[in-house]
Amino acid sequence: MALVVIYVVLSVIVGYLLGSINASVIIGKILYRKDIREYGSGNAGVTNTLRTFGKPAAAAVLIVDFLKGIAACLIGHLLVGYIDNFGWVGVYLAGFAAVLGHNWPVFFGFRGGKGVLTSFAVVMYISPVPALICLAVFIVVVALTRYVSLGSMVGAVFWPIVSLFYNLPALVVAVAVLMSVLIVIRHKDNIKRLFDGTEKKLSFKNKK
C-alpha cells in the first residue's frame, strides 16, 4: 500500500508540474516580450492569446495545453496503471493536478488560465465519447452566441451529466463535478461581463 501511495503522489506532482507549463505565458514572454496576463482579459489561455498575439500563437497554445493534459494522464497510467484496483486513480488525480497546475502554475506566480482545454484533454483520455459530446455542446453554443466563455461553461456542466448518463465510475463523476465547478468559478469575471453585456465575442479578424 505504501508503494501505491508513493506512486499516486508522484503522479499528482508530475501532473501539476506539467500543468504549470503555461504555453500562453511562455510564448508571450519569449516571442512577443509581453506577459499575456497584462493584456486583454488577463487570462493565460487560448482565446486571449488569439486576441492578443494572433492565430499562430493561439494554435501553439492550444496544442500544448491539450497535450500536457494527455501527458499527465499517461504518466499517471504508467506509474499506477499496473496496480490492481488503483489503475485509473493515478490517471484521474494526475489529470486533475494538471488542471490545477494550469490554473495556478508554480512557475508563473500561481497566475494561470481557466483550465478548459487541459480539462478537455483529461476528459478525452478518460472517456472519449462523453468528451466529444461536451465538445459538440461547446461548438454549438459558441456558434450560436460567439461567446467562448459561455460555451466553455455549458460544455463543462455537461460532463458530469453525460458521465452519469453513461454510468461511468463514481470517481470519474466526482472528478467531472470538481472540474466543472472549477471551470465555472474561474469564469466568474466572464459571467459578470455576460450579464453586463460587455463580454467580447469570438472574432478571427483581429490578428493574423
117-162 pLDDT per residue, tens: 999 999 999 999 999 999 999 999 999 999 999 999 999 999 999 9
pLDDT range class, residue 204, cuts 50, 70, 90 = low
Residue 86 has what pLDDT? 65
Q: Under a CB-based contact definition with an 8 Å cutoff, are residues 151 and 145 in contact?
A: yes
Domain hosting residue 48, numbered range: 2-196
52-77 mean pLDDT: 96
Would the pLDDT of 70 be above 70? Answer: yes
Q: What is the pTM of this model?
A: 0.91
Long-range contacts of 45-48 (CB under 8 A, 24+ apart): 45/113, 45/114, 45/116, 45/117, 46/117, 47/148, 47/149, 47/202, 48/24
The domain tally of the chain equals 1
**Mean of the per-residue pLDDT values for the chain?**
92
On whether residue 87 sits in a domain, the answer given is yes
On whether residue 205 sits in a domain, the answer given is no
On whether residue 206 sits in a domain, the answer given is no
H runs (alpha helix) in 115-147: 116-126, 128-145
Would the pLDDT of 208 be above 60? Answer: no
On whether residue 176 sits in a domain, the answer given is yes
